[in-house]
Structure 1
Amino acid sequence: MERQQKAYKGVIDYFKKKIMDGELRPGEKLPPERDIAERLNVSRNSVREAIRIMDMTGVISSQQGSGNYITCEFQKSLAETMTMMFAMDQIDYKQISQIRQALECLAFSLAIEHASEEQIKEMESLVKELDKSTDDVKNAALDKKLHFMLAQSSENILVLDFLEACSGVIDSFIHDMRAAILRTEERKKLLNECHKKLIEALKEKDETKGQEALKRHFMLINEILEERENRKI
């Protein structure tokens, strides 16, 4: 058993080196399991175990009937890890909210320098659409897309991946959270005012104004969630 464990780790190390040396790039297909086993002198079971682990951690994507491809989608493993931590009570929503706030504040700081005019216009359009919409499901989707675009415009893949992982945990365990927060017209108006100030701050490159808008935004969300939790007790 110990020998098999060392064997599959050797397979993982082999592909890790190939990726780090630039010999394997995202989108490239791995050789068949039999070829890998023969090349590395290990059993096919060891190769399968290595592929399973690399798939779980987002290094590769296993496509039924097609093969295994290098993807390097590490956000997938981040989301799965955080989801399991939440499920086993290792983290709670308050901690996720704290991380989200810190990361979104960083995303805004970076977006001031990196957001394109097109990205800012699209975020502005989402805010306007959210103002007009009366559909709970649509409102939740608009809100999610707006925050995704802010993270994306930071041009920092780690910020984007961690925020997407946080968002995945929220969607998995607090299914109707976004819709519930935006359900009443008063709450939607208050949160969208924060969104508007955030976009204004981006356009004006005003760090203080943007950070204040985000602080207010998360204060409102946390107040609403505390109310929901208190009603359950």
Structure 2
Amino acid sequence: MAVTDEAIQKIKAMIVSGELAPGDRLPPEKELSERLGLSRNSMREAVKALEVIRVLDVRRGDGTYVTSLEPHLLLEAISFVVDMHDDDSLLELFAVRRMLESQATGLAAGNATAEEAQGLIDEISSIDPGTVSIDDLVAHDIRFHREIVRLTRNGYLASLIDSLSSQTIRARVWRGVTEQGAVDRTLSEHRAIAEAIAAHDSALATSLATAHVAGVERWLRQAANA
């Protein structure tokens, strides 16, 4: 193991063990390097690496602190990688979204209260298929799926799916503009998913969510080959 990697592992172990908690200030560099038996240079490189992935927060003139370690913060590095994708990898993003979001929907079906499930149905009912614009439809789609993922009660999963989902918005708009019946199909599929969640039918909710996201994948693949 490289010396810098060893330093990263030792700092991580201090956080995992609770020796360093979210918001805590790290000991001075010299003290910490001596305590862990590492050079100050390797310690400095480890701190830089952990700052990049938002585990540590280096405040110039103040010290180095453990961040809040909130899911959205720790997943920013993944979000950055996703942001750098090109159109050729969009189908791969949809595939990952389909796998994660379908399972998340199954979890939501097991967790949702009657009130929460009704909230999903009310969200669908608030959309008038005859007058809704594509922008409003996509905004509804984002709210609907975001609420479902919230019902997993898993902040890390919610943040990860949100990062992936935000990168597929352009394709969803394209589909809404170009595919006949996209509005009615979207709302119908959403209603079926919401009803499965309300019935606490995890298997059905998972299957419906898989088919729902796969429909956009299928359209995108056909559009790319047209």
TM-score (norm: length of structure 1): 0.73
Contact in 2 for aligned 1:61/1:71 (Cα 8 Å): no
5+ residue gaps, structure 1, are none
2:203 is equivalent to residue 205 of structure 1: no
2:100 is equivalent to residue 103 of structure 1: yes
Contact in 1 for aligned 2:106/2:203 (Cα 8 Å): no
Report the equivalent of 1:160.
158
Contact in 1 for aligned 2:99/2:210 (Cα 8 Å): no
Relative to structure 1, the CA distance from residue 108 to residue 88 in structure 2 (aligned partners, 3 Å threshold; closer, same or farther) is: closer
Computed over aligned residues only, the root mean square deviation of the Cα atoms, in angstroms, reads: 3.3
How far 1:164 moved relative to its partner? 2.8
Report the equivalent of 2:175.
181
Contact in 2 for aligned 1:181/1:187 (Cα 8 Å): yes
Q: Secondary structure at the match of 1:101?
A: helix
Count of residue pairs the alignment pairs up: 216
Q: Secondary structure at the match of 2:181?
A: helix
How far 1:119 moved relative to its partner? 3.0
Query: 2-side partners of 1:125 and 1:63: how far apart?
Result: 46
Q: Give, as a single letter, the amino acid of the residue that structure 1 aligns with 2:68.
A: T
Query: 1-side partners of 2:214 and 2:103: how far apart?
Result: 17
TM-score (norm: length of structure 2): 0.75
How far 1:48 moved relative to its partner? 4.4
Query: 1-side partners of 2:101 and 2:196: how far apart?
Result: 14
Report the equivalent of 1:80.
80
Q: CA offsets, 1:62-100, max 9 Å, x none?
A: 56787644233332233334455x4597xx233322222
Report the equivalent of 1:70.
67
Report the equivalent of 2:188.
193
Q: Give, as a single letter, the amino acid of the residue that structure 2 aligns with 1:78.
A: I
Query: 2-side partners of 1:53 and 1:124: how far apart?
Result: 45
Relative to structure 1, the CA distance from residue 152 to residue 63 in structure 2 (aligned partners, 3 Å threshold; closer, same or farther) is: farther
Q: Secondary structure at the match of 1:183?
A: helix
Q: Hey, which bits of structure 1, 4+ residues long, moved more than 6 A?
A: 63-66
Relative to structure 1, the CA distance from residue 130 to residue 12 in structure 2 (aligned partners, 3 Å threshold; closer, same or farther) is: farther
2:144 is equivalent to residue 146 of structure 1: yes
How far 1:213 moved relative to its partner? 2.6
How far 1:197 moved relative to its partner? 0.6
5+ residue gaps, structure 2, are none
Report the equivalent of 1:25.
21
Query: 2-side partners of 1:229 and 1:47: how far apart?
Result: 48
How far 1:121 moved relative to its partner? 3.2
